[in-house]
């Protein structure tokens, strides 16, 4: 059997624990996140863990693909310490300002250049953009199938079996490789950083590719290649009013349940 | 002079911080309430190689040195000084074996310590006091080729959880001769005694270790015969002072962070108290204390890693950072007002924890003796 080649798409994001420090420049409408430590987007860490566990169980290799600003390099290093074998870092000003479409296009081009890995893992959503679009779009660019929002998977006899979370429950699916999988947090508990692995990771290779390496023109990438242009940010409207319920705990709980039911029926919740 | 940490060191800090914030922080109050560091947290630290940091690679460790150790203790102490103290004294238990152990002793004891399968401590202090180790009363009686130990060690961190105890004793037949031994809890006559109830550092396992006709084989004598004081004190010296500096650094950082958070949130007279110059001045002093402590601590650790003599530098770092930790935690409590005295805010814990950093691994007065003697010689005409 051919050795399993697995890729993981990673995003480096400002640490969600410090999002209170994020500010928006009112003139340029850009998000100011300087000085905030960067982490691997939490669901991407679950994606990496799923990939590394498959490699540990079935052999093969795990390569990380990450597009980001120079600060993302330390998160790539971290991914190597968490079990990835090598990494591709898409680092070029031309990638800047990309929406989900331009991001997926660049990542897909990199994955194609790698010879299309049999399995590609992504987090179901990033903790920054939260669109959930990048994974499926990569699959579309590559012309392969994808399972989105996977909470459990098993790999047997060259096939992947997955539980996909749907609106009403979950679906059991099986698929042949090549396949792209986006994962939810329930899929696993990511391992912690081990010092010995962090040291070994320093010797692992990080390939840095620019837009020229991907064979894509500047109007396919970054802001220019994006389908969506952000022109404004608006604060969330403040909550309107409040209702104070009175009575004992049981009465209040009953009343809340009735209200939730009513709002649900009215399509408010 | 380069004041930057290397990329490797930054990665170690990240690994330690990840453990501290994701695994330890959610359980910090539980540790405090139960006065116990759960075994699984120690196992998790071991799984992340925190116990292997200063053990040489040849014996299953990582051989990363003392700057790395300081980084890890600092990050853990920022969340739980008790957990950091476990690591600190574990380091004291292994250092004499690393430095003075025979090849056989290193092969036998260090690998299971590097993986956390076994835990270590050092037992020097007795009821007679810790500042004068020559005043101890634990005696070793030569018994054929072996030794029989009798005595009671007090205030020993990791007293219950440790498996391996590096212990200092004086010879029964010659009160001026001291030896250090590697004892094991599985040896008959070696057991923990009472556990201390402390004002702070709850969760740190502090208590007695009792030796009652404990037979220790000749091969467990550590270092040259009669070199016991040197063996035991060298561990407490640089490594002990480095570790307490690390505990102090974590407490300094935690106190400053808590104070800034509270000062920005607490509104008095329509504006946050962080706008008051009296509060800003306290924060400024805390910041200066943190930065000065950090520079002193990491300078000494870097010297240690370069193989330079650094006992005085560690004495300065230990003295300054531990005193600063108390000052800064007190400021943090003051900024919190009455809330600073309440258990729902952690600053009272930082203050209680900081107070024990002063007598641990050499009191401030002992540090002053070292610094004073050095300065009187160094700056004499």
pLDDT for A268 equals 66
DSSP conformation class of B237: I
pLDDT for A34 equals 80
Give the position of tokens 């070199």: B227
Rounded-to-integer distance, Cα B172 and Cα B325, Å: 41
Domain assignment of residue A120, yes or no? yes
Rounded-to-integer distance, Cα B244 and Cα B235, Å: 13
Residue A215 zone, left/alpha/beta (φ > 0; ψ -120 to 50; rest): left
* Contact residues, chain B, for A20 at CB < 8 Å: none
Question: Residue B142: phi, psi to the nearest 5?
Answer: -65, 135
Domain assignment of residue A235, yes or no? no
Question: Are B47 and A192 an interchain contact pair (Cβ–Cβ within 8 Å)?
Answer: yes
- B256-278: average pLDDT: 96
pLDDT for A237 equals 75
Q: Which of B6, B13, B49 to mutate to test the interface with A (most CBs of A within 10 A)?
A: B49
Question: Residue A253: phi, psi to the nearest 5?
Answer: -60, -40
Residue B98 in this model has a pLDDT that exceeds 80: yes
- B255-278: average pLDDT: 97
Domain assignment of residue A96, yes or no? yes
Strands A179-183 and A145-156: parallel
Question: Are B11 and A81 an interchain contact pair (Cβ–Cβ within 8 Å)?
Answer: yes
Question: Are A198 and B18 an interchain contact pair (Cβ–Cβ within 8 Å)?
Answer: no
Chains A, B: CB pairs < 8 Å: 52
pLDDT for A50 equals 98
DSSP conformation class of B219: G
Domain assignment of residue A98, yes or no? yes
Å from A200 to nearest chain B CA? 10
Residues 175-204 of B with CB under 8 A from A: none
Least confident range from A265-269, B148-152, B293-297: namely: A265-269
pLDDT for A28 equals 72
Question: Are A195 and B14 an interchain contact pair (Cβ–Cβ within 8 Å)?
Answer: no
Do the beta carbons of residue B15 and residue B48 sit within 8 Å? yes
Question: Are B15 and A195 an interchain contact pair (Cβ–Cβ within 8 Å)?
Answer: yes
pLDDT for B218 equals 95
Element (H, E) at B349: helix B347-357
Strands A23-24 and A12-14: unpaired
Distance of CA B286 to the CA centre of its chain: 22
**A50 near B CB under 8 A:** no
**B11 near A CB under 8 A:** yes
Q: For residue B172, what are its two tokens?
A: 């029964």
The count of residues in chain B is 381
Q: Which of B208, B171, B172, B174 is nearest to B190 (CA)?
A: B208
Q: Which residues contact B7 (CB under 8 A, 6 or more apart)?
A: A74, A77, A202
Cα separation values, B359 from B129, B290, B353, Å = 11, 20, 12
The nearest alpha carbon in chain B to A17 belongs to B21
**B7 near A CB under 8 A:** yes
With a cut of 70, list the residues of chain A below it in pLDDT: 1, 268-269
Domain assignment of residue A266, yes or no? no
Q: For residue B335, what are its two tokens?
A: 């900024």
Inter-residue long-range contacts of B263-271, CB under 8 Å, 24+ positions, other chains counted = B263/B335, B266/B336, B266/B337
Q: Which of A58, A57, A51 is nearest to A86 (CA)?
A: A51
Residues 290-329 of B with CB under 8 A from A: none
Do the beta carbons of residue B5 and residue B70 sit within 8 Å? no
* Contact residues, chain A, for B47 at CB < 8 Å: 192, 194
Range of the domain at A38: 4-220
Q: Which of A18, A37, A83, A192 to mutate to test the interface with B (most CBs of B within 10 A)?
A: A192
Q: For residue B186, what are its two tokens?
A: 């599985």
The nearest alpha carbon in chain A to B15 belongs to A193
Shortest CB distance from A198 goes to which of B11, B21, B47? B11
Å from B259 to nearest chain A CA? 17
Å from A213 to nearest chain B CA? 27
User: CATH no. for residue A98?
Assistant: 3.40.50.620
B241-263 burial, b at 16+ Cβ within 10 Å, e below that, comes to bbbbbbbbbbbbbbbbebbbebb
pLDDT for A1 equals 54
Element (H, E) at B263: helix B241-265
Average pLDDT, chain B: 95
DSSP conformation class of B233: H
The nearest alpha carbon in chain A to B44 belongs to A192
Question: Are A192 and B19 an interchain contact pair (Cβ–Cβ within 8 Å)?
Answer: yes
Å from A7 to nearest chain B CA? 23
Do the beta carbons of residue B181 and residue B219 sit within 8 Å? no
Domain assignment of residue A246, yes or no? no
Number of structural domains (chain A) is 1
Cα separation values, B222 from B145, B147, B211, B234, B241, Å = 14, 12, 17, 13, 22
Question: Are A198 and B64 an interchain contact pair (Cβ–Cβ within 8 Å)?
Answer: no
All domains of chain B in start order, with CATH: 7-118 (1.10.540.10), 121-225 (2.40.110.10), 230-378 (1.20.140.10)
Domain assignment of residue A66, yes or no? yes
Q: Which of B365, B283, B356 is nearest to B325 (CA)?
A: B356
pLDDT tens figures, B60-78: 999 999 999 999 999 999 9
**A189 near B CB under 8 A:** no
Cα separation values, B187 from B148, B209, B212, Å = 11, 13, 10
- B149-160: average pLDDT: 96
């Amino acid at each position: 059997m051919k050795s399993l080649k697995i890729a993981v798409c990673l995003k480096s994001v400002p640490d969600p624990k410090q999002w209170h420090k994020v500010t928006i420049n009112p003139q340029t409408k850009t998000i100011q996140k300087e000085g905030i430590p960067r982490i691997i987007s939490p669901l991407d860490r679950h994606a990496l863990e799923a990939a590394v566990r498959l490699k540990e169980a079935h052999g093969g290799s795990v390569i990380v693909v990450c597009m980001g600003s120079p600060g993302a390099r330390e998160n790539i290093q971290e991914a190597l310490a968490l079990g990835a074998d090598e990494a591709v870092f898409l680092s070029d000003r031309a990638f800047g300002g990309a929406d989900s479409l331009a991001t997926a296009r660049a990542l897909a081009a990199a994955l194609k250049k790698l010879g299309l890995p049999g399995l590609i893992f992504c987090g179901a959503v990033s903790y920054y953009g939260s669109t959930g679009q990048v994974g499926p779009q990569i699959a579309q660019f590559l012309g392969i199938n994808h399972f989105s929002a996977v909470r459990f998977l098993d790999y047997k006899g060259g096939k992947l079996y997955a539980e996909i979370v749907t609106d009403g429950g979950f679906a059991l699916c099986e698929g042949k490789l090549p396949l792209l999988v986006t994962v939810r947090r329930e899929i696993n508990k990511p391992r912690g950083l081990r010092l010995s692995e962090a040291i070994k990771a320093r010797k692992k290779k990080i390939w840095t590719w620019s837009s020229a390496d991907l064979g894509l023109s500047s109007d396919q990438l970054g802001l220019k290649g994006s389908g969506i242009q952000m022109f404004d940010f608006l604060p969330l409207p403040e909550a309107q009013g409040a209702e104070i319920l009175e009575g004992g705990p049981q009465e209040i709980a009953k009343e809340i349940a009735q209200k939730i039911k009513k709002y649900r029926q009215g399509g408010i919740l | 002079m380069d004041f930057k940490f290397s990329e490797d060191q930054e990665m170690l800090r990240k690994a330690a911080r990840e453990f501290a914030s994701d695994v330890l922080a959610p359980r910090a109050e539980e540790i405090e309430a139960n006065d116990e560091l759960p075994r699984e947290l120690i196992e998790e630290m071991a799984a992340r190689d925190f116990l292997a940091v200063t053990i040489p690679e040849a014996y299953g460790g990582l051989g990363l040195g003392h700057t790395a150790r300081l980084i890890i203790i600092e990050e853990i102490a920022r969340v739980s000084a008790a957990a950091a103290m476990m690591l600190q004294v574990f380091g004291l238990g292994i250092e004499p074996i690393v430095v003075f152990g025979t090849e056989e002793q290193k092969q036998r004891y260090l690998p299971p310590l590097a993986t956390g399968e076994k835990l270590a401590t050092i037992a020097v202090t007795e009821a007679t006091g810790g500042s004068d180790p020559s005043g101890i009363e634990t005696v070793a009686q030569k018994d054929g080729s072996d030794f029989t130990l009798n005595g009671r060690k007090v205030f020993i961190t990791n007293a219950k959880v440790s498996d391996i105890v590096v212990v200092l004793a004086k010879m029964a037949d010659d009160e001026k001769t001291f030896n250090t031994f590697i004892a094991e809890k599985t040896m008959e006559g070696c057991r923990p005694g009472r556990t201390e109830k402390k004002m702070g550092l709850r969760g740190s396992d502090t208590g007695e270790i009792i030796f009652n006709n404990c037979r220790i084989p000749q091969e467990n004598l550590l270092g040259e015969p009669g070199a016991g004081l040197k063996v035991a004190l060298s561990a407490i010296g640089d490594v002990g002072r480095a570790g307490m500096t690390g505990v102090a650094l974590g407490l300094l950082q935690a106190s400053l962070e808590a104070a800034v958070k509270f000062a920005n949130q607490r509104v008095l007279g329509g504006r946050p108290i962080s706008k008051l110059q009296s509060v800003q001045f306290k924060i400024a002093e805390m910041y200066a204390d943190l930065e000065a402590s950090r520079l002193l601590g990491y300078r000494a650790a870097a010297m240690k890693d370069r193989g330079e003599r650094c006992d005085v530098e560690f004495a300065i770092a230990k003295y300054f950072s531990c005193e600063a930790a108390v000052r800064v935690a007190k400021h943090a409590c003051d900024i919190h007002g009455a809330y600073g005295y309440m258990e729902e805010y952690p600053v009272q814990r930082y203050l209680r924890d900081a107070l024990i950093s002063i007598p641990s691994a050499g009191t401030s007065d002992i540090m002053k003796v070292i610094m004073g003697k050095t300065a009187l010689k160094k700056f004499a005409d």
